[in-house]
C-alpha cells in the first residue's frame, strides 16, 4: 500500500488546517496498514513554486511529526510527463484546443441560458486551426459508459462522462495543470490510495479514465467532507490557521493532530499523545458525510489536556534548567503552554515582590508565619498549616486559602498548594509570609 499527499508551494502561506488534516489522514492510513506515506510537491508552476516555499512545506510536516517515507517534486519529472503526454496524443486521448478564455466563458453562459449543462463542446474533426494561436490541451473523455468507483468515505460513486467537460491538462504556454501529471506520478510511484477533500470527487472520476488510458489500475479514493469553521460557514481564517501560527503560539502538534484525526468521525475527540495511538483507531468507516466543524478553541483545550498528562521525559529539553521532574509534575496540571512553566521559576526558586495584602488579612498572615516556623516540613506543611489556622482563627474556605496563596506565591491561582509549598520550601515560605504581613 502506498498513499500520497500533494502540496503546491505557494507564497500565500504555510500549511493550514485543511491540508494538514489531509496529510494526517494519509499518514495514519499508511501507518495502520503498514504502507508507505509519500509527499509530492506539485511545483510545475515554476514562477510561484520557489525553493523557499517548498522547504516551508517540509519544515511544517517535520514539526507536526508527519514524516513521509519518500518525497518527489514534479519539477524533476517533466520528461516523464512529456513521454506519457505524447503517448496519449498519439492514441487520440489528448487533443489541441484554440478557444480563448473569453470565448469559453461566453459559450458557457449561452449553454446555461438554454438550460443546458455548461460542458465543453468538442470541435468537429478537421476544423480549421487559427493562425498564430498556441493551443491548450484537453483530455478526451470516453462517453460510452458511466464512470463508477467505490469511495472509502462516500460509498459507491457514479458519473455520466457526457456531463463532464474534457479537462484541460496543459496550458497554451505548455505548463501543466495537476490532473494528468498527478496520475502519471501515481502510476510511476505505485500509489494505491488517495485521500483528499470531497471537492475533488469529479476530478477523481476524470482521473480514473486517465489511469485506464495509460493502462493502469486506478487508485482507491477516499473523499473527506470539507472542514468548516465552527459557526458553520467556510472561514477564511482557517486558511491562515495552521502550522506556522501554532508554532508561534507554542501549541503542541499533537493537540492539533488529535483534533483533526477525530472531528467529522464517530470517534470521540480526545488528547492523544502519539501518532501510533491515533493510527490504531483510524478507520474511514467512522467518517461522516457532514462537514467537519473546526474550532481553534478546541485546539487550546486539547493542548492543555495533553500537557496535563505528559511525562517529564517528553518535555525536559524544552523546560528551564531549574524545572526538574518534581517541579514539572506539580506545574503541568495548571499549564496551557509549556512556555508557561518558566513563569513559575521565580515562585519556586527566587525572591518575589511582597503582594499587597488587605489589612483584614494581615493578622492571618502573621499567625501563618508564626505557625509555619513550628511545622514539620518533611511531612505535609500546607495541610498542617491550614488546619492549625482554622483552629486558631476560625477562617476556612476562600477566606483562608486565598490570602495564604497570595502571600506565598503572589498569585491568585495556580497549582495545588500542598505539593507547591513543599517545592517552595520552609525558608522562602517564612520570608514571604513575614514580608506579606508587613
Backbone angles phi, psi at 38, to 5 degrees: -105, 150
- Whole-number pLDDT of residue 45: 74
**Residues 6 or more apart in contact with residue 137 via CB below 8 angstroms:** 85, 89, 94, 95, 96, 97, 168, 169, 170
Confidence of residue 260 (pLDDT cuts 50, 70, 90): very high
pTM over 0.75: yes
Residue 323 lies in a domain: yes
Residue 217, all three cell numbers: 489500475
Q: Write the burial class of residue 334 (CB in 10 Å: 0-12 exposed, 13-18 middle, 19+ buried).
A: middle
Same domain assignment for residues 367 and 432 = yes
Q: In 263-295, where does DSSP find H-type helix?
A: 275-280
Confidence of residue 110 (pLDDT cuts 50, 70, 90): confident
**Residues 6 or more apart in contact with residue 100 via CB below 8 angstroms:** none
CATH of the domain at 9: 3.40.50.620
CATH of the domain at 431: 1.10.10.350
Q: Give the 3-state secondary structure of residue 260.
A: helix
Same domain assignment for residues 67 and 185 = yes
Backbone angles phi, psi at 168, to 5 degrees: -70, 130
Residue 313, all three cell numbers: 521525559
pLDDT in tens, 364-373: 999 999 999 9
Residue 247 lies in a domain: no
Same domain assignment for residues 355 and 209 = no
CATH of the domain at 108: 3.90.800.10
Helix, strand, coil tally for the chain in percent (to 5): 50, 15, 35
Same domain assignment for residues 358 and 335 = no
Same domain assignment for residues 49 and 93 = no
Residue 89 predicted with pLDDT over 60:
yes
Contact 263, 252 (CB under 8 A): no
Q: What is the C-alpha separation between 246 and 236, in angstroms, rounded?
A: 17
Same domain assignment for residues 100 and 160 = yes
Residue 254 lies in a domain: no
Count of other CB atoms within 10 angstroms of residue 418? 13
Of 127, 151, 170, which residue constitutes the final position of a domain? 170
Pick the range with the lowest mean pLDDT from 47-61, 84-98, 259-273, 376-390: 47-61
Q: What is the C-alpha separation between 375 and 435, in angstroms, rounded?
A: 19
Residue 193 lies in a domain: yes
Average pLDDT over residues 206-222: 97
Residue 377 predicted with pLDDT over 60:
yes
Q: In 65-213, where does DSSP find H-type helix?
A: 78-90, 101-113, 179-189, 201-213
Q: Write the burial class of residue 375 (CB in 10 Å: 0-12 exposed, 13-18 middle, 19+ buried).
A: middle
Same domain assignment for residues 57 and 199 = yes
Residue 305 lies in a domain: no
Residue 264 lies in a domain: no
Contact 181, 44 (CB under 8 A): yes
Of 126, 152, 170, which residue constitutes the final position of a domain? 170
- Whole-number pLDDT of residue 245: 85
Contact 181, 239 (CB under 8 A): no
280: left (phi over 0), alpha (psi -120 to 50) or beta: alpha
Same domain assignment for residues 195 and 64 = yes
Same domain assignment for residues 22 and 157 = no
Backbone angles phi, psi at 175, to 5 degrees: -75, 155
pLDDT in tens, 121-163: 898 887 888 888 899 999 999 999 999 999 999 999 999 999 9
Backbone angles phi, psi at 11, to 5 degrees: -75, 0
Residue 437, all three cell numbers: 504581613
Contact 368, 433 (CB under 8 A): yes
Same domain assignment for residues 186 and 47 = yes
- Whole-number pLDDT of residue 127: 82
Residue 240 predicted with pLDDT over 70:
no
Count of other CB atoms within 10 angstroms of residue 248? 8
Same domain assignment for residues 163 and 203 = no
Q: Give the number of domains in the chain.
A: 4
Q: What is the C-alpha separation between 169 and 165, in angstroms, rounded?
A: 12
Closest-CA residue to 33 (of 222, 215, 218): 222
Q: What's the chain's average pLDDT?
A: 91
Residue 260 lies in a domain: no
Binding site residues for ATP, as ranges? Answer: 236
Q: Which residues pair with 38 in a beta bridge?
A: 4, 70
Binding site residues, as ranges? Answer: 236
Residue 285 lies in a domain: no
Same domain assignment for residues 199 and 64 = yes
Residue 13 predicted with pLDDT over 60:
no
Q: Write the burial class of residue 163 (CB in 10 Å: 0-12 exposed, 13-18 middle, 19+ buried).
A: exposed
Residue 140's domain comprises: 80-170
Amino acid at each position: 500500500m502506498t498513499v500520497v499527499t500533494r502540496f503546491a508551494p505557494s507564497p500565500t502561506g504555510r500549511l493550514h488546517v485543511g491540508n494538514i488534516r489531509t496529510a494526517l489522514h494519509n499518514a495514519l492510513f499508511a501507518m495502520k496498514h503498514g504502507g508507505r506515506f509519500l509527499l509530492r510537491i506539485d511545483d510545475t508552476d515554476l514562477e510561484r513554486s520557489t525553493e523557499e516555499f517548498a522547504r516551508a512545506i517540509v519544515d511544517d510536516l517535520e514539526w507536526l511529526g508527519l514524516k513521509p517515507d519518500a518525497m518527489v517534486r514534479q519539477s524533476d519529472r517533466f520528461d516523464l510527463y512529456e513521454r506519457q503526454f505524447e503517448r496519449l496524443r498519439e492514441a487520440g486521448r489528448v487533443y489541441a484546443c484554440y478557444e480563448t478564455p473569453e470565448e469559453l466563458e461566453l459559450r458557457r453562459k449561452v449553454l446555461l441560458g438554454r438550460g443546458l449543462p455548461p460542458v465543453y463542446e468538442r470541435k468537429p474533426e478537421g476544423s480549421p486551426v487559427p493562425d498564430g494561436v498556441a493551443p491548450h490541451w484537453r483530455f478526451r473523455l470516453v462517453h460510452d459508459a458511466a464512470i463508477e468507483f467505490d469511495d472509502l468515505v462516500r460509498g459507491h460513486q457514479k458519473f455520466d462522462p457526457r456531463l463532464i467537460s474534457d479537462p484541460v491538462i496543459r496550458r497554451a504556454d505548455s505548463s501543466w495543470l495537476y490532473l494528468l501529471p498527478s496520475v502519471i506520478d501515481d502510476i510511476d510511484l505505485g500509489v494505491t490510495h488517495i485521500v483528499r477533500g470531497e471537492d475533488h470527487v469529479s476530478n477523481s472520476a476524470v482521473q480514473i479514465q486517465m489511469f485506464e488510458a495509460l493502462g493502469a489500475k486506478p487508485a482507491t479514493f477516499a473523499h473527506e467532507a470539507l472542514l468548516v469553521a465552527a459557526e458553520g460557514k467556510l472561514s477564511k481564517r482557517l486558511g491562515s490557521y495552521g502550522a506556522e501560527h501554532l508554532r508561534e503560539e507554542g501549541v503542541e502538534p499533537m493537540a492539533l493532530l488529535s483534533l483533526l484525526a477525530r472531528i467529522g468521525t464517530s470517534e470521540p475527540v480526545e488528547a492523544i499523545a502519539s501518532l501510533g495511538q491515533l493510527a490504531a483507531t483510524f478507520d474511514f468507516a467512522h467518517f461522516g458525510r457532514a462537514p467537519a466543524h473546526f474550532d481553534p478553541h478546541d485546539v487550546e483545550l486539547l493542548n492543555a489536556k495533553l500537557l496535563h498528562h505528559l511525562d517529564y521525559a517528553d518535555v525536559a529539553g524544552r523546560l528551564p534548567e531549574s524545572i526538574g521532574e518534581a517541579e514539572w509534575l506539580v506545574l503541568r496540571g495548571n499549564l496551557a503552554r509549556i512556555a508557561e512553566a518558566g513563569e513559575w521559576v521565580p515562585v519556586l526558586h527566587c525572591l518575589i515582590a511582597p503582594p499587597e495584602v488587605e489589612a483584614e488579612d494581615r493578622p492571618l498572615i502573621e499567625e501563618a508565619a508564626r505557625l509555619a516556623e513550628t511545622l514539620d516540613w518533611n511531612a505535609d506543611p500546607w495541610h498542617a498549616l491550614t488546619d492549625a489556622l482554622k483552629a486558631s482563627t476560625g477562617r476556612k474556605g476562600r477566606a483562608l486559602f486565598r490570602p495564604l496563596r497570595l502571600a506565598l506565591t503572589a498569585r491568585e491561582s495556580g497549582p495545588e498548594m500542598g505539593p507547591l509549598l513543599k517545592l517552595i520550601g520552609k525558608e522562602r515560605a517564612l520570608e514571604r509570609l513575614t514580608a506579606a504581613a508587613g
